[in-house]
Amino acid sequence: MSKQILILPGDGIGPEIMAEAVKVLELANEKYSLDFEFSHDVIGGAAIDKHGVPLADETLDRARAADAVLLGAVGGPKWDKIDRDIRPERGLLKIRAQLGLFGNLRPAILYPQLADASSLKPEIVAGLDILIVRELTGGIYFGSPRGVRELENGERQAYDTLPYSESEIRRIARVGFDMARVRGKKLCSVDKANVLASSQLWREIVEQVALDYPDVELSHMYVDNAAMQLVRAPKQFDVIVTDNLFGDILSDQASMLTGSIGMLPSASLDTNNKGMYEPCHGSAPDIAGLGIANPLATILSVSMMLRYSFSLGDAADAIEKAVSLVLDQGLRTGDIWSQGCTKVGTQEMGDAVVAALRNL
Ligand code: NAD
């Protein structure tokens, strides 16, 4: 039976990078006889313009019915001033929560060809291959109560809540251990257990889950130390598992070790490995419409989709190989360009990956 893929390009550079990723996906579909069918819809600012909300019910229904979702990015200055509850990012949080996509996989891999593009010395980052597993549907981004209240002295006070239940921690810990088991067998759980009650429970449950994974070496690290270690000696990490807020920040930090956030894909999975796949970066309004955005993070998100939702490891490997070959040819978008390389735009980069994949 054919597999349904829902494509949500979003805003800003979203449609530009998505066009290139779809070319790669269509070629993979044909080359490997994958029997994928595609449908397109709007999310974020584009959905606000069309429906008045960042995620229409009909779009959510289509996402539920699809086997996987490929998303670009949402947001932009046009929608920055509107009511907080219907801002573009709310659409993203809603689709993640409604589809139960609690497990966010964010690899930070340094392609050897891009060692010069990293902000750290090549010897610190050469060969870097980290996977950050971030909890995505709980914690402070979803906790209630939240809001702004007036204190007795008339001053306003803003507050958020950081809740984690045992089952939420247990299921993300399992994702972390499962990933570590098929990689370097090292899992570092990042928390703030010296201060936060939620982190104390986090640590206790991770320790319990560890009993089922005697082959994986578990360590714990406070988030402030993890931020420091990521720039001091990032290669000490194999898999990091952490909560929603810490994972958001640490994965952006890890992205810079690899040269550009424009290189980093992500997968968000539910308990059955149904997933939504998207680049780690945002809609980059500063370069939207210029045709210079790096499409590789979105193309690599396609490869993650084939690997994690459809167990098509060979086709996923081929896309990653095609990206590597294009980098070997010296082609670079502006964000990863260095002296001696050929600067190309979004479309040329996409075309080069398609050509490399066709020839594999
Ligand atoms: P951003 O990731 O959009 O951009 C940060 C910087 O990285 C910018 O200089 C941008 O030009 C550059 N950049 C990002 N992607 C790139 C690419 N593919 N190629 C080349 N350069 C790239 O983050 P921001 O500026 O903080 O946010 C912009 C908008 O995106 C905001 O509205 C924000 O809310 C939204 N956002 C959306 C997502 C998402 O959809 N998942 C994630 C983060 C931010």
pLDDT band at 333 (very low <50, low <70, confident <90, very high): very high
Ligand 1 atom at minimum distance from 298 CA: 18
Measured by CA distance, the residue closest to atom 27 of ligand 1 is: 282
Helix, strand, coil percentages in the chain from 3-state DSSP, rounded to 5: 45, 20, 35
Segment 314-339 mean pLDDT: 95
**What token pair was written down for 54?**
């960042």
Span 117-140, pLDDT tens digits: 888 998 899 889 999 999 999 999
Q: In the chain, where does DSSP find H-type helix?
A: 14-31, 45-51, 57-65, 88-98, 122-125, 166-181, 197-210, 223-232, 244-257, 296-308, 313-328, 346-359
| Number of other residues whose CB lies within 10 A of the CB of residue 218 | 19
Greatest extent of the chain over all pairs of C-alpha atoms, in Å: 71
| Number of other residues whose CB lies within 10 A of the CB of residue 194 | 9
Q: Which residues are designated catalytic?
A: 141, 192, 224, 248, 252
* Cβ-contact 18, 72 below 8 angstroms: yes
The 3-state DSSP class for residue 108 equals strand
- Distance, CA 353 to ligand 1 centroid (Å)? 22
Q: Indicate whether 338 pLDDT > 90.
A: no
Ligand 1 atom at minimum distance from 73 CA: 40
Domains of the chain: 1-102+285-360 (3.40.718.10), 103-269 (3.40.718.10)
Segment 311-339 mean pLDDT: 95
Span 168-222, pLDDT tens digits: 999 999 999 999 998 999 999 999 999 999 999 999 999 999 999 999 999 999 9
Burial 58-70 (b: 16+ CB within 10 A, else e): ebbebbeebbbbb
Q: What is the pLDDT of residue 297?
A: 96
Which one of 20, 244, 260, 283 would you pick to mutate in the ligand 1 pocket, going by the greatest count of ligand atoms within 8 A of its CB? 283
| Number of other residues whose CB lies within 10 A of the CB of residue 115 | 20
Rounded to whole angstroms, the Cα distance separating 306 from 308 reads 6
Residues near ligand 1 (Cβ within 6 A): 13, 17, 73-76, 89, 92, 261-262, 278, 281-287, 293-294, 297, 335
Q: What is the pLDDT of residue 29?
A: 97
Choose among 235, 140, 131: nearest CA to 178: 131
DSSP 283: -
- Distance, CA 301 to ligand 1 centroid (Å)? 16
Give percent above pLDDT 70 in the chain: 100
Q: Pick the residue with more confidence: 244 or 338?
A: 244
Choose among 221, 248, 224: nearest CA to 237: 221
pLDDT band at 62 (very low <50, low <70, confident <90, very high): very high
Q: What is the mean pLDDT of the chain?
A: 95
Phi, psi angles (nearest 5°) of residue 62: -65, -40
